[in-house]
Amino acid sequence: MESTRKRLITLLAKKKDEYISGQKLSDELNISRAAIWKQMKSLENEGYQIEAVSRKGYRIVRFPERMSVNTIQWNLKTDWLGQNMHFEEQVDSTQTVAHQLAREGAEHGTVIVADEQLKGRGRLHRPWHSQKGSGIWMSIILRPDIEPHRAPQLTLASAVAITKMLKFLTGVQPKIKWPNDIFVGDRKLAGILTEMQAEQDLIEYVIIGIGLNVNLDQKAVPDDLQDVATSIQLETGKAWKREELIQELLYQMESIYELFLQQGFSSIKQAWEQDAYRLGETITVKARRKEWEATLIGIHEDGALIVEDENQSKSVLYSAEIDW
Ligand code: BT5
């Protein structure tokens, strides 16, 4: 049974600018008005700032510094994405938690956020550095009714959502490096890891893992990533509230996902190409046991990379190692 205190915060946290009357709170929680008042005082002692206005009721004006489901959902404008949310102070990997929850039947749009990951991972089990409090370490469970071969398009769609959020809120100018990185200049700001559970032509679930460095200063960047990684703080010179970024990111993800389902990937292609890393430049491609120099032309309607060699011959690549 959820504690009264937790239910009270959840009720107050639902809508950022709306007051809830003492009467309504007392009805919903089945406690007296005096008990509500006592609860409010105890929340204030913990760092919540609560405004009480006569004939309107109560609302939360400020949360304590620590991140929680409530602080993330407080100003979340999505219809379904993240309405079911889990927050963990410390996990091995939010991907592992997400797989477990998905197997147990977690609903489409469930989001798992962690403050710290001990075994954050990238593709091919490469490690993902996920220091406490310094980034967005998040996994999203989706149950899309699409053919499994289209799942990689969700990685590209997620990259577009991340760039939209970054441009809108932070002013950082991100580039999307095919297939799963977000770069600023020549440094990695974020990575996406898409994992899928499917049977033949049916997707059971997809998990989109997003790692985004937020408040990581140069000292906190591990030695092996000094020349590789960047963070929003390093790019903008100030610290950011992670909740605000997550709220906007989930909002962008939800709208892009709906566009993707209704109109297909081609509706996202243009936004992707607009911010593509090294578009029109020469790169070295390793694929089909060959290695060649090519110009990056863009992406295909289905999300594959299009490159053109010196004889103007185009190739469509579904998987390749690129020397950027
Ligand atoms: C990725 O893999 O870029 C996908 C990363 C996904 C991480 C998220 S966090 C939430 C969820 N839970 C998880 O356990 N994972 C997901 P890949 O393209 O394989 O890149 C991995 C490489 O990025 C490493 O080999 C390092 O070189 C570099 N790297 C590791 N940590 C980094 C960081 N914090 N910032 C920038 N680069 C990093």
Is CATH 3.90.850.10 what the domain over 4-62 is classified as, yes or no?
A: no
From the list 301, 302, 304, 298, the residue with the least C-alpha distance to 283 is: 298
Residue extent(s) of CATH 2.30.30 domains in the chain: 282-323
- The CATH 3.30.930.10 portion of the chain extends over 69-274
**How far apart (Å, rounded) are the C-alpha atoms in residues 59 and 249?**
25
What region does 290 belong to: left with phi over 0, alpha with psi -120 to 50, or beta?
A: beta
Question: 120 alpha carbon to ligand 1 midpoint, in Å?
Answer: 7
Say what the ipTM of the complex is: 0.99
Per-residue pLDDT of the chain in tens (324 residues, 90 and over written 9): 468 888 898 888 877 788 999 999 999 999 999 999 999 998 898 888 999 999 999 999 888 888 999 889 888 999 999 999 999 999 999 999 999 999 999 999 999 999 999 999 999 999 999 999 999 999 999 999 999 999 999 999 999 999 999 999 999 999 999 999 999 999 999 999 999 999 989 999 999 999 999 999 999 999 999 999 999 999 999 999 999 999 999 999 999 999 999 999 999 999 999 999 999 999 999 988 899 999 999 999 899 999 999 999 999 999 888 999
Looking at domain 69-274, its CATH architecture is: 2-Layer Sandwich (3.30)
21: amino acid identity, one letter: S
Beta-carbon contacts of residue 36 (< 8 Å; ≥ 6 apart): 8, 22, 25, 26, 29
d(C-alpha 254, C-alpha 10), whole Å = 22
Q: What is the pLDDT of residue 62?
A: 87
Cite the residue boundaries of each domain of the chain with CATH code 1.10.10.10: 4-62
Residue whose CA lies nearest to ligand 1 atom number 25: 126
Q: Distance (Å, rounded) from C-alpha 256 to C-alpha 266? A: 12
Q: Report which protein residue has its CA nearest ligand 1's atom 15.
A: 121
85-91 and 111-117 as β-strands: parallel, antiparallel, unpaired? parallel
Cα dihedral 70/76/79/82 (nearest 10)? -50
Q: Is the CB of 300 under 6 A from ligand 1?
A: no
3-state helix, strand, coil in the chain (%, to 5): 35, 30, 35
Distances (CA, A) of 128 to 43, 80, 283: 36, 28, 25
CB 71 within 8 A of CB 63: yes
Reading the block at residue 164, the tokens are 């939209």
Q: Which CATH code, of 2.30.29, 3.40.50, 1.25.40, 2.30.30, is assigned to 282-323?
A: 2.30.30
Q: Which of 86, 128, 177, 213 to mutate to test the pocket of ligand 1 (most atoms within 8 A of CB)?
A: 128
Which residue is closest in CA terms to ligand 1's atom 28?
Answer: 128
Q: Residue 289 is encoded by which pair of tokens?
A: 């046991």
